Structure 1
Amino acid sequence: MNKLATKKLLDAMQKKDISQFLISDPSTIDYLVGYHTDPGERLLLLSIKRNGQMQLILNQLFPTFKEKDNLAIKYYNDGEPIIKELAEALEAGNIGIDKNWPSHFLINLMKQHPNAEYVNGSPLVDKIRAIKSKEEIDIMREASHRNDQVMQALIKKIDATTSENEIKEQLASLYKEYECDGFSFEPIIAYGPHGADPHHSTDDSLPQVGQSIIIDIGSSYKGYCSDMTRTVFFGEVSDKHKEIYQTVLKANEEAIKQVKPGVSFASIDLTARKIIEDAGYGEYFTHRTGHFIGRDVHEYGDVSQHNHNKVEVGNVFSIEPGIYLPGEMGVRIEDLVVVTETGCEVINLANKELTILPNK
């Protein structure tokens, strides 16, 4: 039971006049009470009342969980009218609803209890999760350290005969070797023109001399995600592509220098964006500069020109500028940073100087 986070959530519910909060997101449930399962199409729900009463609603098919502290467990069977029972037990007043709750559950609840006021409660817990504790940061630092080691080992496995899909298979083996819990997202291995698609799906292509190779990988370790991108070149690199790489590297490094408590996320994004625009590639930087990360690889909060919120101590997010030339190539360089009292700590240490792999 995460007592500190629960207390913060109850205080936030009091301030926002939310009498009961229904949480369905498995990561948030795990964060608050230490229970995790993939519910599939079945209902998984943590109900928190403003007076501190908590109930975890589980299907009988889910792993069992012992009652502890003030957390009660309610099991239900397939076909049981659990939403009707939930509606009958709702508190009066505003009911906070998780942003990820499937609509068919919510619509059914609203029909069963039409007089309640339903509001999005997720911002309350999102803001709490956005400030990582020392224990969380220690785990994420280790997760990134292992990802560094895997990245460096993976790059050495690329040669003229290894396809994108084969590199992905090698990655899965390396994560097992370094005792990580599989992928935190579908890895991106993109040779040459495939790199112009920031979310390319791997295929059986082989690397060609002069191509860039984008490697965007992450794993899960003790419930927390890692995420990092490096770009290397195969055999040789042209002057144009070298200039593009150095531009992205500068954007990455200068944006990181801007990270400290009190600055806006928009200003960090604009630092990276201006460097790329000044080099003449502004239209080819097609995404935000970064995203928050923790138990989920993409959490609430981002580093974009539209986010004018202020950076806070304990935030953990990516800095990942890129340039993508359609039909030609792409470059992205991504690190994770932890915000400290005086600036930030970069928790990815894998080499990001321009690297040319031997053609063998």
Structure 2
Amino acid sequence: MKTNRLNRVLEMMAEQKMDQMIVSDSSAIFYLTGKWIHPGERLLALYLNVNGNHKLVINELFPVSEDLGVEKIWINDTQNGVKILADLMEKNKVTGIDKNWPARFLLQLMELDGESKYVNGSSIIDRVRMCKDKQEIEFMKESSRVTDIAVEKMIQLVKEKYTEKKMGQILAQVYEENGASGFSFDPIVAYGANGADPHHGTDDSIVKEGDSIIIDIGCIKDSYCSDTTRTVFYKSVSDKAREVYETVKEANLKAISIVKPGVKFCDIDKAARDHIEAKGYGKYFTHRTGHSIGIEDHDFGDVSSINEDTVQPGMIFSIEPGIYLPGEFGVRIEDLILVTEGGCEVLNKTSKDLRIIK
């Protein structure tokens, strides 16, 4: 077990008077043990108790020979895994449950111990994961470095006039060549009017002169995700598109400029949103300003108007304002931001100056 991470979780459990917790999410189990286990539909449960005596209930189909620092309780498909888990647990206690644990497991556990109080335990691990340790920060920097290489490659390929789909296929090769294990999310390459859809799915479109090109990509390296967006233009850029681009860029920079420990996430969102609204494009900025990232591309926490939490050193999140004009074009600029003791560090180094690809 990752002792420092586990201790932080146990401390928060004690603070919230949570006696025990069932951790079933693969990402959370990896965070605490350093081991990826993907059980599919089968039961996988890391049982934590504030008094110790932790257990990992795992199916024999997923052999784990490593010493994970926790006793393994092996089950098979002919056994009732929930009953075995219930027998390990203390009865009539406040029990944290993973937010994604299937109801078929939880309902059976509640029948076996109807006296316990069941609460969402994921909020504890989610909040611990928000502040990255030194090793995690190095992994995130390396993942971002690889994505900077990839986004620059994609920008240079615009002039080849590949379809959006083909660009995505080439991106997979670029990531593999640079040591990444895959995409952190389905890449977005959006030409012209396609860019007005923030989550456009790549298709067979081919770039045309005057198009904006949104390139929103990220990889997984050392089990940590990266995510960046750059928008460029093909052969020419209209005055309107130039104005929109500069507005988004300024919103991105204004939001980054106020990031430091103690600042509220909602105020970071406001810095970007107020600028875009002042330029008359407020209704075309249709999403939150950013999201937390780490083991998952969208970790717990976001940069939104309703998030009153304050940023802390070690947090990493995106700042990605955008303007989307239906039927015309879109512009988004995204960086990952690491909160430091005295301010912040931008993990993405690719230029944000307006670029026209000839």
Q: Per the alignment, in what secondary structure is the counterpart of residue 115 of structure 1? A: coil
Deviation at 1:340, TM superposition (A): 0.7
2:31 counterpart of 1:31: yes
Q: Per-residue displacement from partner, 1:196-240 (whole Å, max 9, x unpaired)?
A: 111111111101111111110000010110000000111211000
Q: Per-residue displacement from partner, 1:12-50 (whole Å, max 9, x unpaired)?
A: 111111111000111110110111122211111111111
Comparing 48-57 with 244-253, greater Cα deviation is found at: 48-57
Counterpart CA distance in 2 for 1:339 and 1:68 is 31
Counterpart CA distance in 2 for 1:68 and 1:82 is 20
Question: What letter is aligned with 1:151?
Answer: V
Counterpart CA distance in 2 for 1:351 and 1:63 is 46
Partner of 1:72: 71
Alignment of 1:263-342 (within 5 A): 263-342=263-342
Contact kept in structure 2, 1:65 and 1:73, CA below 8 Å:
no
Alignment of 1:1-360 (within 5 A): 1-69=1-69, 71-92=70-91, 93-159=93-159, 161-358=161-358
Deviation at 1:91, TM superposition (A): 1.2
Q: Per-residue displacement from partner, 1:284-303 (whole Å, max 9, x unpaired)?
A: 00000010000111011110
Q: Per-residue displacement from partner, 1:112-131 (whole Å, max 9, x unpaired)?
A: 22221100111111111111
Contact kept in structure 2, 1:196 and 1:325, CA below 8 Å:
yes
Supply the RMSD in Å over aligned alpha carbons: 1.1
Deviation at 1:67, TM superposition (A): 3.8
TM-score by length of 1: 0.97
Q: Per the alignment, in what secondary structure is the counterpart of residue 337 of structure 1? A: strand
Identity %: 49
Contact kept in structure 1, 2:33 and 2:68, CA below 8 Å:
no
Q: Per the alignment, in what secondary structure is the counterpart of residue 310 of structure 1? A: coil
Counterpart CA distance in 1 for 2:211 and 2:43 is 47
Q: Per the alignment, in what secondary structure is the counterpart of residue 58 of structure 1? A: strand
Q: Per the alignment, in what secondary structure is the counterpart of residue 323 of structure 1? A: strand
Counterpart CA distance in 1 for 2:23 and 2:338 is 27
Contact kept in structure 1, 2:154 and 2:215, CA below 8 Å:
no
Contact kept in structure 2, 1:160 and 1:208, CA below 8 Å:
no
Deviation at 1:146, TM superposition (A): 1.1
Q: Per-residue displacement from partner, 1:311-348 (whole Å, max 9, x unpaired)?
A: 11111000000000111111000000100111100000
Question: What letter is aligned with 1:206?
Answer: I
Structure 1 unaligned segments of length 5 or more: list them: none
Q: Per the alignment, in what secondary structure is the counterpart of residue 158 of structure 1? A: helix
Deviation at 1:89, TM superposition (A): 2.5
